[in-house]
Amino acid sequence: MKKDKFLNNDDGNRSMMDSNNINQATENAGLYSKLFSKNPSLIPFKNEIMNGELNSQDKFIGHSNIDKKREVYIFNGIEAARKGLEESGINPFSMFPTVYLFAKISDRVMSQTKGAINQEKYQLIYNSSLYLAAKYESQYYNHNLFFDANNEEKLLITFKDVYSYSNDIIKLLNFDLNIVSPTEILHIYQLVDGTLENEDLTKMCRFLLTFLLFSRVFLDQEKNLVILTVYMYSKIIKFKKVNWREDLETLTGIKKKKIMKNVEQLISEIKKKKETYNLLYNSFYNII
- pLDDT of residue 45 exceeding 70, the answer is no
- When pLDDT is averaged across residues 173-187 and rounded to a whole number, the result is 82
Q: Name the percent of the chain lying above pLDDT 70.
A: 76
DSSP line for 208-239: HHHHGGG-HHHHTSBHHHHHHHHHHHHHHHHH
**pTM for the structure as a whole:** 0.79
- Structural domain harbouring 12: 5-38
Predicted local distance difference test score (pLDDT) of residue 18? 45
In a domain, residue 43? The reply is: no
Domain count, the chain: 3
CB–CB of 224/56 below 8 Å?
yes
110 and 197 both lie in a single domain: no
- When pLDDT is averaged across residues 249-273 and rounded to a whole number, the result is 91
Q: Taking every pair of C-alpha atoms in the chain, what is the biggest distance, in angstroms?
A: 80
Predicted local distance difference test score (pLDDT) of residue 26? 41
- pLDDT of residue 157 exceeding 80, the answer is yes
Pick the residue with more confidence: 42 or 12? 42
CB contact burial 117-126 (16+ within 10 A = b; e otherwise): eebebbbbbb
Q: Which residues pair with 222 in a beta bridge?
A: 59
- pLDDT of residue 159 exceeding 50, the answer is yes
The domain boundary residue, chosen from 172, 192, 222: 172
Alpha helices in the chain (DSSP H): 5-38, 46-50, 70-87, 96-112, 119-136, 159-172, 182-193, 199-211, 216-219, 223-239, 246-252, 256-272, 274-284
- When pLDDT is averaged across residues 208-224 and rounded to a whole number, the result is 91
In a domain, residue 76? The reply is: yes
In a domain, residue 48? The reply is: no
First to last CA, the chain: 72
Over the chain, what is the mean pLDDT?
Answer: 79
CB contact burial 215-234 (16+ within 10 A = b; e otherwise): beebbebbbbbbbbbbbbbb
Name which of 102, 103, 97 is nearest 66 in CA terms: 103
Count how many Cα atoms sit within 13 Å of the Cα of residue 9 in the half-sphere of its side chain.
3
- When pLDDT is averaged across residues 224-252 and rounded to a whole number, the result is 87
